[in-house]
Amino acid sequence: MKKFNTLYVSKWADGKPEDTRIIETPTYSLHSMIAGDACERTELIADYCTEHEIHSLVLCPGFTHDMVAELSRALKGRTAVAVSRTDAPGSSITAPVKREARKGLQE
């Protein structure tokens, strides 16, 4: 049976792409990657999409327009590319928590 495969990539400094996790049902696979500095390397993400037959790539809000375009080109139309965004109230909830968590990276 064919599965629909999605990869969600989060850009976080201490992330390790090799620690990607997969949650599956009989018809759906959700791959979750915390890519860290590897986000600067589209090849890593594009290769993962090809290897795992990813149909939909969802990027966290930290990806720039240029990075999204580069990934889209690298995937050559084989994978849909989307970017996760939040509403204004959501940003006010997440921003302080992210700032606090990033302080731990500098220690």
Choose between 105 and 42: higher pLDDT: 42
CB-based contact 60:84 (threshold 8 Å) = yes
pLDDT of residue 39: 63
| DSSP H helical ranges for the chain | 42-51, 65-75, 88-106
End-to-end Cα spacing for the chain = 48
pLDDT of residue 72: 95
Please report where in the chains the tokens 């850009």 appear, as a residue. 11
Q: Residues 15-66: pLDDT tens digits?
A: 888 899 999 999 999 999 998 876 667 889 999 999 999 999 999 988 889 9
Q: Residues 54-91: pLDDT tens digits?
A: 999 999 988 889 989 999 999 999 999 999 988 888 88
Sign of CA dihedral 85, 63, 60, 48: positive
